[in-house]
Structure 1
Amino acid sequence: MNSHYDELIAAYLAGDDVEQALIKACEDDETLLAELSQQVAFSRVVAFALYAKNDQMFIDSFKSKLANEVNTQVIIAKTNNIQEITSNKATVIPTLFKGNLWQRYAIAACIALFSFLFIFYQYSYSPSLGLIAKVVEAESQKGMVYSGDNVAHGQFSLTKGYAEITLNNGVALLLEAPIRLNISSVEHITLVEGSLVAYVPDGAEGFQVDTPSSQIIDLGTEFGVSVDKKGKSQVHVLKGEVKVRASKKQEYEHLTVDQARSFDLDQQVAIIKSQPHRFMRTLPGKSIQDPDYLHWSLDRQKGANLPCQGKGINGQCFDAQRKSLIEGKVGPEFVQGKFGDAIYFNGEDDWLDTAYSGIGGNKPRTVAFWVKIPENFSAENSFGILSWGLMDKLAAWQISPNPNGDIGPIGRIRVGISHAVVVGTTDLRDSQWHHVAIVLFGGTNVNLSTHVLMYVDGKLEKTATKSIAKVLTDLDHPKSKPFAMGRNIAFNTNKNQKYKFFKGWLDEVYLFDSALTQKSIYNLMTFNQLTPNPKELNNKK
């Protein structure tokens, strides 16, 4: 082979734009393509070896890939996909096979080797397309998913929890389990099943989401997409604009904020009501390492006073007082609890009061506690496990077992008041202790439907109902009520006491001024403290 060909191959490997010259040279000399394939294959192997952590890893991985390529015809067939050699293979390939039989076999072998190594390298060491930015109890079939993990070309799935992916072009994808998708590039993904929200920043317009029944192309926006197990899909525009269609045979339709469409596998498109509350739109940031908090152990004490045992919020701690409507009665009674003693509320006339006004506005917060709800649960005795704020639309923060079947399943944990609620799915009406944690995390446009996570027994709770409602807990109104336990926020001594008191058991109440992580919630449930000492951890193991 002459020196001119050597220079062409070297220039090609260096990334220079010499493809057309190589095509012409291959037409003139049948041996050039074989030499080129050997050189490129060698270059790929060297690059692969540099990425490998050790020699044995390289050998084992290579053997594994080679064992899978048992069909030589498959390998040779894959040469039709090679774009690195030429974009005009119709003029090159026929020329290759003009020689004798031995030459044809030799060239075919070189092409097969190059094709295999190219595909092997491409699939084994695809560059990272982004990172997992945030997770909430996220798991895949392979195990736990962690923030900071790389996101590569190919399949990605979650069997549990939430994850936020940030692609290299700035596109953010918030995924809710169970979900399966294929990531083709930073500009294109396919949602096979599940729900996601895509936020596309300036400069990344044109981002595309395909589903089994639709195609969605962003025009600078935020949108939610869901796909059911049968392949039917929905798209809801949360901000900006997208264009959508059921198949390539149809024209695109433009959708703007608060518009939505559904698609089936028969390419039928239907106008549907926009339901942004169906989608989780943000995940909590990093928790404060040493947050302020209030803690009431509710252990047996003499008299009505129950001391606050937390570090305090803004340097202050607030004791709880046992209260009753019946003159001369001290208040709710002590019983055996999950950790030490607990409090039993009779659902008729007793509660616990504090002087703490609560956490106001849309500030982050976490409330965690143990609760036991009787099997003979009654709607009359359901409201007000914990509450504070103003009995007005969106102005209170109240946690109860849900008594209203029109809002959500009965007996599940519920946060909010009136029709602005989030309702879980775990039935708590079994007279057994359950650990409950409600997390509201901060950010922009804080909303019940997108900024609240609920945990039952340390596990992320799937929600049955989520209202679209801003969080505006009012502490400043003259009628705002301080933090109380066992009493409805609507309590008024001048009215009938029906629906005013909670009936059940309560223990180890924590109130934090920050959004806790799942790990911290697990520690509270397991060790009754945020940071257990090493001895307790070893005993648990």
Structure 2
Amino acid sequence: MMNDTTIYDLIERHFIGELTEKQQRELRDALKANRKYRDRFRESALISAELRHLASEPAIQPSVKTRSKSSPAFRIGWLSIAIAATVLLALGGGLLFWRADLPATSSSIATLLDGYQYEFDAANAPTSDEFGVGDYTLTQGAITLLFENGVKVVVESPADFSLVSAMQMQLDRGRVRAVVPESGHGFVLATPQGNIEDLGTEFGVYVGTDRDAELHVFAGEVNLHQQTQASQRLSEDTAVRLVSGNCERLISTNDAAFATSAMIGYQRWQESQRQWREDPSTVLYFDFEDRFEHKVDAIQTEGRSSRLADRKLAGNPIDGDVRGCIWATGRWSGKGALLFENTDDRVELEIPGEFDAVTIMAWIQVNRLDNALQAVFNTRDWQAGEHHWNLLRDGAFRVGVSGAFARSCSHQRVPLGRWTHIAAVIDAHRGQAAYYIDGQRIDLATWQPNGPVRFGPTTLGSFGETSDDDSKSVTFSRDFRGRIDEFAVLRRLLSDEEIRLAYLDGNGFD
């Protein structure tokens, strides 16, 4: 398993063209899987761009000294470049050895970051997830391209487009949405009706079969260059139609008409989650997509409950009773989740049977760690053979099977305020339990096998203890503080690769 240092080294070496094909694939997978690595990639792209700019000019131009920082054409000055070089020295990355005579990048200028049911025409298709200079025809679905300078472009089919360089793309037909960070300022999207030069923007462009175009500026500014017109600067919330060399102002922008990378991620997740619903080994599956059936429960009253639907397609459903939680937004706008915010917020359910093999998966967002132990998924009373899954105050897992093992997984923490995929794969027959965060195994517990795993009365977001007196009342504690978006229990052992793919399928929310 590659660590942060290895990934950062791959990123820096990418910009001096030193990666093998295998290393390029490893970097691509890492960028897809982790937002932290994508942010680092954009930062390195900015530094690389400035170093190339420095090497390409024989002398410092006077205009650089007088250029205002508030000017849209502002570029990082030479002092900033010196600082950037110092940062590279501190990072110890491959860019430390950058030379003007080395290739600036590999043959790839963009990577397929995400996609949904996409297909290319065979004559104009990439050979892999790496896109070099050339022509492409997207016949089905939608994709998100991540350029080496950090520019992110969503392309919807049907589309004919060309990649000219890391700073220019040609759109002859189709619909795209571009999100341009600072490292990509000056990025140009060329159309038959004119060129759109980014000045720090998010914008959408549509080119029809008649080669007329529409430009919608959602944020920032662009320069519009047309052969028969003087260049125009268009600011956010501006939309224009480009017809026969003319520019016609539209009433308003249409944000919904252009897909975002997150929308593609949501569609891909909707497609992939069917496998868990259809899997014959699925014991229960909560997708939290039934929140709109319970709008009345947005304001809860004491003791009130609502139903959390088990969405598996085979067998008797194991619905959960929602106690005190609030239906909220999940990983995507419009997707449901449950917010656990107050004392005794929980979901109660009962899982029958015994398991020699079981996999548990969930997407959670931890807002606070108020208690020494905070329950994610606990059985009531922790009887022999029952599994518990808690978080410690530092974000580490505290897990165990009663009568078998109990331990803290200290290798990696669940972060605050960020959606995180967690999983447990428990092999009671062999006496092994593996735990995962964001698709990576972080711990493996072993014990002498002593019987199957069981659950019975179980709670999401709390731990219930039955009193010893005649009342047999149940007291709840270890309150979870955050959101839960997806939860599944399967009667089989998922492999490391299946866990990684489950994470990737649900990770396209940013």
TM-score normalized by the length of structure 2: 0.35
Task: Decide which structure has the larger Cα Rg and report it.
Answer: 1
* Structure with greater proportional strand content: 2
TM-score for both structures, normalised by structure 1: 0.33
